[in-house]
Amino acid sequence: MIAADRPDRPAARLCAVDAEGRTRHLPRAALATLLVPGDLVVANDAATLPASLHGLHAATGRPIEVRLAGWVAPGDPTRFAAIVFGAGDHRLRTEDRPPPPPLSAGDHLSLGPLNAVVERRLGHPRLVRLRFLGRRDAVLAGLARHGRPIQYAHVPQPLALWDVWTRIAADPVAFEPPSAGFALDWALLAAWRRHGVGFATLTHAAGISSTGDPALDRRLPFDEPYRIPQRTAAAIARAKTEGRRVVAIGTTVVRALEAAAEADGTVRAGDGIATNRIGPGTRLRAVGALLTGMHQPGESHFELLRAFAPDGVLDGLPAALAAEGYRGHEFGDVMLLERATYSAGQASIVSTKRVSQALVWAPSRARWSMVSET
């Protein structure tokens, strides 16, 4: 799939997969009318921290990059879990970055105006817990002056902080943007309101999407704090009582809502920590549909999609979307995925170009086949 390489090109295309497994290729503008009156949209309003810090390992004088990756205590900007790389920057692919110098508890790191100490390693040479030295206000000022957004090689030009903030960004608690929110704009929100679609927000500290190390990537997503306002929990309770659908904008919203969900699909208001890993065996209680970016098999985000649709549908999607020219990664195109109400043997992808045929997944043969529709 083509990687979106510029933040100033908003999502233009939408792949809509309905509850029967049928797929349509639409312009993103179709989001204005694709949802039905009574749907409740829930989005993540977290703003993104400048979580990439370059500096030196004091003991060796060797260059490092620190990517903040998790809160030790939510709201405390002096202590973080962090991924540490050796020399280089975002222009080198993450998986090609050299490791940092050997890190041990007590090591000091000089990160521009900030100084930090390694409290301990977290089971991997690149994953550590850091403590910034100094007052809270000084640490926040140092992050603002010296930090930059976490960035990957598919976007060659350095990103500014505003490039990674969605239009509804509020509290700066995310380490990477809740990127499905880039599909939202004020015109779309106004259209939803006119169409009778509800809108609410929560705040979830979206984590990093890749560490460059397969073993460490398998530990993603890390535990992530969230906050669900009382008004959002009340809106979800009303939707559930009235038999209406909750549509999550992004995988972080799914993770937060399902972590806080009761058996009847209502959610608890307040602060929490999402420790859940959502995948093919997960029974979704709160969320009925998901708007998300384009993900690839093996990624933690893709595994979450398996809670919405059978493997037969999802395993065929990446190739189908690549053939259609969809753009991936955080500034790419989007997909609306409804929670499945069908078995894997019934799943199909219907071509919008050739409506007389359908691409059908046959579990017994473990492959897709084209059949004529009658």
3 state SS of 364: coil
Give the separation between CA 326 and CA 12, rounded to whole angstroms: 9
Those residues of the chain that have pLDDT short of 50 are 343-374
CA contacts within 13 A on the Cβ side of 175: 25
pLDDT of residue 1: 65
Find out whether 359 and 368 touch, Cβ atoms under 8 Å. Answer: yes
**H/E segment holding residue 192:** helix 186-194
pLDDT of residue 361: 38
CA contacts within 13 A on the Cβ side of 365: 6
Give the separation between CA 184 and CA 177, rounded to whole angstroms: 13
Beta pairing, strands 40-44 & 198-204: parallel
* Contacts of residue 369, Cβ cutoff 8 Å, sequence gap at least 6: 359, 360, 362
Give the separation between CA 92 and CA 225, rounded to whole angstroms: 30
Find out whether 358 and 371 touch, Cβ atoms under 8 Å. Answer: yes
Give the separation between CA 353 and CA 85, rounded to whole angstroms: 46
Give the separation between CA 308 and CA 289, rounded to whole angstroms: 8
Amino acid in position 28: R
pLDDT tens profile 7-65: 777 678 999 999 988 899 999 999 999 999 999 999 999 999 999 999 999 999 999 99
* Residue with tokens 């979580």, as numbered in its chain: 51
**H/E segment holding residue 38:** none
* Nearest in space to 203 (alpha carbons), one of 53, 51, 32, 49: 49
CA contacts within 13 A on the Cβ side of 263: 0
pLDDT tens profile 49-69: 999 999 999 999 999 999 999
Mean residue pLDDT of the chain comes to 88
Find out whether 323 and 294 touch, Cβ atoms under 8 Å. Answer: no
- Cβ neighbour number for residue 154 with a 10 Å cutoff: 18
**H/E segment holding residue 367:** strand 367-372
What pairs with residue 360 in β-bridges? 348, 369
What pairs with residue 368 in β-bridges? 361
pLDDT of residue 344: 41
